[in-house]
Each structure stands twice: as structure tokens, then as C-alpha cells.
Amino acid sequence: MSQPVRVRFAPAPTGLLHIGNARTALFNYLFAKKENGTFILRIEDTDVERSTDASIEAILQDLRWLGINWDEGPDARGSSGPYRQTQRLSLYRDHAEILLGERIVYKCFCSPERLESLRKEQLAKGMMPKYDGKCRSLSENETAKLESEGLRPVLRFRVGKGTVVFEDLIHGRMSFDTNGISDFIIVRSDGMAAYNFACVIDDHAMSISHVIRGEDHLSNTPRQILLYRAMGWQPPVFAHHPLILGPDRSPLSKRHGATAVSQYMEEGFLPETLLNYLVLLGWASPSGEEILTLEKIIESFSLPGLSRNAPAHSRKKLEWLNSHYIRNTDKDRLIQLLLPYFEKAGIPISAWAPEYLAQICLLLKENLSVLSQVEEYLGIFFDQKFSFEEEAKAILILPENKNLLQTILSTIEEYSEIKEDSASPLLRQLEEKTGRKGKPLYGLLRAGMTGKMKGPELVKTLPLLGKERMVKRLKMAMELS
């Protein structure tokens, strides 16, 4: 019987969840779902200086918001916990003792200064920096003496000669000559397990079947496989996916704009947009469809289907997907999503009729590629936010438009009210009376009554404004100079 599928996402809680890491989590989640496996969330917080509880909380929250739910994790029951590495230190210590006893690892007392000058020397000679093995053959006496002097060693793995070969599910056969691998540190001088070591112990103890992670970890994998060999354990299957690049094809970073999931959330991207977008970065559905529900993605997802080429982030595509999801969100959810942005813009929503707010939301959804853009349009519907944009002003003050504004005003004044069924006849009447059509008329009407050059469909906007407000704004427009 083949081993049950167990995968893990193992973030270091040193900051916000980056979209690149969310994509790694998503690939693990999709693979687990597809294979009826288990998805584990493990917090790799051994860098105690930089890890924070707030970051753990934020990562959990962002994953939940995205709908990437874990079966086992720090807050969920599972048989292989605890799921925070700082709660597993004794396990690492016990294994380090075994490796030390078997002389698979050794104590190294080299100072950071020595290591730094060694590195510089090697680089100057055009060599690849590598630990020179000075402490490899220290005798027990020498070791004891150095320790009695108060020196605290690191534990280094004794890398032998040979090659490490593995089949990567995305990259195919990978081969590393151990000549290029330094005797790496498995326990730091403060006694804390280093990443490669803790990771292997945990992946084994948690019966992880597949390690799916970014290509930035490719160079760690041969080290980890050496550790598996030394322990006599079977390594998991590895899959290293390419990382997301910025539009200039350098690794995606803050200088390319937002990188944290929470930033996208605040700006008003929907979780389904981000999931859909992240999976499309480097993966295409066999049907070629781009708008995909999570169920659909799970159905057709496969790791070997991931491209080996690094995908470039495209804000335009992300916004395109988001517009789609905003337009297709059901009414109640849309309102729930948009109203907080009204509040944020200073509109006390409890003071307004729910039906009026709902109509505004339904109308504006067509204009939004992110939810927060709704704020730009609130001036149309709430007088306290109303003003004429500079471009609108420029049109309204044109001498040839002054008379037209007067004609528009007197036509509107003839109506008792502008309702849904009177907006179309009014616009037709204005075409006749002004002798204008299309943009020259509608641009002027829009500028005069919404203060803006673009916005929601006029015929639907006017009934929401109502006659009184239309008249008031036209009069204001006519007084502009």
C-alpha cells in the first residue's frame, strides 16, 4: 500500500504572509485535497529573535481568510504535534545527541571572525566559500578543553564524498556533488536547532510524504537528504516550484508594490481572486479556463503540471480577475464587503436607508477592480463628499457649455421627480433639446451632476440622485468660473 499523502506548509513567523508563501501553502493544500491527504501547518519559529506571536496570528488569519484550511496545526488537533518548533526542542536535542555519539556530527568552535576571514580569503582566491573542516578531527580532550574555557560550539554535519540524487516532481532528476556542500551547521551555539535539521526531524516525525516548497530551498534539499541518510530514514518526495518574479523579472519584493496577503485584502481583493490568481501563476488548467473555482482547481491540479519557468506577477491580471469576482458576488455579500469602505470614507452608514446603500453598491460594482475604489465614487451619492474634479470643472466652464447647462437645468425642472422609469425619457429629451448626443452630451451631464469624468452608468445614477440634487448640482456647476 502506498504511503498516505501528508504535506505541510512551514512558515517562519517573522513577518506578514507574502503572496509567494501563500502560493506555496496553496499548492500544498491543493495537492492534499486532490490526493485525499492531510495538510499540516507547522510554525518554524526557531529564529527566536525574529519570530513573533503576532506574526503567527497574522499568518493563521490570512490563511483562513484565503480558505486554505489545515487539518493539523498549532490550533488544530493532530497526532504529530506540537506544531511549533520551539515546542519540539527536546526532540531535536535527542537526535543531535545520537548523531554526535555516532560522530556523524562534530563540535566546531571556530569563531565568527575566523569563519568570516576564511570566507574572504576563499572568495579572493576565486574559490567557493566553504568551511575548511578545522574542527573535524578535534580529539575528545581538545573538545573538553575548549568547552571548559567556556566556548560554546556549534554542531556541524560531516559531509562525505559522493553525490546526492533525487527526483523532483517539477524539475525531474536533480544531482548534487557533495564537494559543493560545506559541513553545515545543525545546531547553533545557543543550542537551537538550525533550519535544515529541525525540518528533517519534523518532516520525518510528522510522516510527511511530499515536501512542496519554493525553489529557493533547492540547495537545502541535498543537505536534508544527507541527514535522512545519516538517520537511516526514507526521504519524502520533493517538489520545488519556481518563485514569483516582479514584472522586471527580479524576485518579487516590496519595491514591486504590495507583497503581503493582508495588503491585498485591505485594498479590496477577494480571497477567491487571490487563490485563482496564485494558482494561475505557473499553472494552467487543462481546459485553458482562467476563471476557476477552488473545486475546479482541485479537480484538475497536478504538481508535474506546474511550469518550470518562473511566473511574473501581473497586477493587471489580478485586477481583471477581481473585477470578475466583484461583479459576480451575490448582493448580500457585496454589500457586506463594500460598506466598511463607506465607513472608512466617513459615511455613517447607519444614517442611510439600507435600500439606498444597496442600490449604490449594486451600481458601483461594475466600476470596481478593487473594493476600496468604491471610495472614489462616494461623492456622487453623498453630498458631504461631493466636489467637482478639475477635469470636470474645465468642461463645465467652457463658454459653449454654459447655455447647454441652462437648457439641461430647465428641462429637468419640468419633471416632478426623476425616477427609474423617467431617466431614459429625460436623456432622450435632452438629446433633442441640446442637439448633442454621445460623449459631448453625456460627458457634460456626468461632469455637472456627479462632478466626475467617469463613473457608473448615468441612466441608473440619475434616479439615485433624484431631481432636487441634480438641480442643486447643476446650479453649482453653472456658478463655476
Touching ligand GLU, residues 155-214 (CB under 6 A): 199, 213
Residue where the block lists cell 439641461: 408
Stretch that binds ligand GLU, among 5-13, 64-72, 390-398, 438-446 (CB under 6 A): 5-13
Residues 6+ apart with CB under 8 A from 305: 283, 284, 286
Smallest distance, Å, CB 185 to ligand GLU?
16
Touching ligand GLU, residues 68-97 (CB under 6 A): none
Cβ–Cβ < 8 Å for 63, 70? yes
Smallest distance, Å, CB 440 to ligand GLU?
58
**The three cell numbers locating residue 274:** 487571490
User: What values do phi and psi take at 112, rounded to 5?
Assistant: -55, -35
**The three cell numbers locating residue 200:** 528533517
**Based on CB atoms, which residue is closest to ligand GLU, 156 or 213?**
213
Task: Give the Cα separation of 177 and 163 in Å (integer).
Answer: 4
Taking CB under 6 A as the criterion, the residue among 34, 130, 217, 324 binding ligand GLU is: 217
**Based on CB atoms, which residue is closest to ligand GLU, 28 or 434?**
28
Q: How many Cα atoms occupy the beta-carbon half-sphere of 228 within 13 Å?
A: 22
Smallest distance, Å, CB 187 to ligand GLU?
17
- Asked if the peptide bond before residue 82 counts as cis, ω within 30 degrees of 0, the response is yes
Touching ligand GLU, residues 138-157 (CB under 6 A): none
**CA-based nearest residue to 364, from 348, 380, 340:** 380
Catalytic residue among 33, 34, 130, 254: 254
**Based on CB atoms, which residue is closest to ligand GLU, 54 or 459?**
54
Polymer length of the chain: 481
DSSP 200: H
Burial of 235 per CB tally in 10 Å (0-12, 13-18, 19+): buried
254 is catalytic: yes
* DSSP tally for the chain: helices H, then strands E: 19, 9
Smallest distance, Å, CB 237 to ligand GLU?
13
Under the binding rule (CB under 6 A), the answer on residue 446 touching ligand GLU is no
**The three cell numbers locating residue 118:** 576564511
Name the helix (H) or strand (E) containing 124. helix 112-124
Four-CA torsion 45, 49, 54, 55, nearest 10 degrees: -50
User: What does each C-alpha distance from 326 to 51, 344, 363, 377 come to in angstroms?
Assistant: 36, 19, 12, 16
**Based on CB atoms, which residue is closest to ligand GLU, 199 or 368?**
199
Smallest distance, Å, CB 21 to ligand GLU?
7
Q: What is the per-residue binding string for ligand GLU in 6-25, x denoting contact by CB under 6 A?
A: ----xxx-------------
**The three cell numbers locating residue 352:** 442611510
**Based on CB atoms, which residue is closest to ligand GLU, 44 or 272?**
44
Strand pairing partners for 9? 41
**Based on CB atoms, which residue is closest to ligand GLU, 199 or 378?**
199
Smallest distance, Å, CB 214 to ligand GLU?
7
User: How many Cβ atoms are within 10 Å of 149's Cβ, its own excluded?
Assistant: 8
Smallest distance, Å, CB 24 to ligand GLU?
7
**Based on CB atoms, which residue is closest to ligand GLU, 199 or 447?**
199
Touching ligand GLU, residues 38-57 (CB under 6 A): 44
Residues that bind ligand GLU (CB under 6 A): 10-12, 44, 199, 213, 217
Residues classed as catalytic: 254
